[in-house]
């Protein structure tokens, strides 16, 4: 048993299933979480997709593993979108692999600037396009 994965898995089970707490989990990057069943208790999985091959391919594999874990809702969130071509590349990939898209978050210097000053983009740049896109995502979940 990997204790780190097991801890997150059991904590999520307790928070979500037993206590019905609204919970947002920033999972460890990559696939290992999913092969260990860490997120099996979540009801919605958001997969962040960037418009380049490795990111999309990772997203596709996560989506497949999420289906094996029977996660009820799996949605794509495109991030760091620079152009209409980026957006359509992601739409095309998501469509080909049955990933429903929930949001398109633009590339936004305000995020980098907030990171650089050690602050939350919500406080530092509440009106920036990227923050606004995530706020809209929150409203539709």
Partner 1 sequence: MGGKGGSGKTTISGILARSLGRRYGRVIAVDGDSNPNLALTLGIPPSQLQFLPTLPRDLLEQVPEEGGKTRVQLKFSTKQVIEQFGTSAPDGVRLMVLGRVDHAGAG
Residues at the interface with partner 1 (CB under 8 A):
1-4, 6-8, 10-12, 14-15, 18-19, 21-30, 33-34, 38-39, 45-50, 54-55, 58-59, 62, 66, 77, 79-80, 105, 111, 115, 118-123, 130-131, 134-135, 137-139, 141
Pick the closest to residue 51 from 7, 96, 21, 93 (CA basis).
Answer: 93
For residue 45 the two structure tokens come to 């999985």
Select 88 or 120, whichever has its Cβ closest to partner 1.
120
Shortest CB 83 distance to partner 1, Å: 17
Of the two residues 3 and 70, which places its CB atom closer to partner 1 in the complex?
3
Residue (of 100, 109, 105) closest to 137 by Cα position: 105
* Closest residue by Cα to residue 77 from 136, 9, 8, 124: 136
């Amino acid at each position: 048993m990997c204790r780190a994965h097991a801890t997150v898995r059991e904590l999520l089970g307790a928070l979500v299933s037993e206590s019905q707490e609204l919970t947002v989990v920033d999972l460890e990057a990559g696939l290992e979480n999913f092969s260990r069943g860490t997120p099996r208790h979540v009801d919605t999985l958001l997969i962040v997709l960037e418009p380049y091959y490795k990111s999309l391919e990772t997203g596709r594999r996560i989506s497949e593993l999420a289906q094996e874990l029977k996660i009820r809702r799996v949605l794509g969130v495109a991030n760091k979108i620079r152009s209409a071509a980026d957006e359509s590349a992601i739409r095309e990939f998501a469509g080909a692999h049955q990933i429903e898209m929930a949001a398109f978050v633009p590339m936004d210097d305000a995020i980098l600037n907030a990171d650089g000053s050690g602050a939350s983009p919500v406080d530092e740049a509440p009106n920036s396009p990227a923050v606004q896109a995530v706020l809209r995502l929150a409203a539709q979940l």
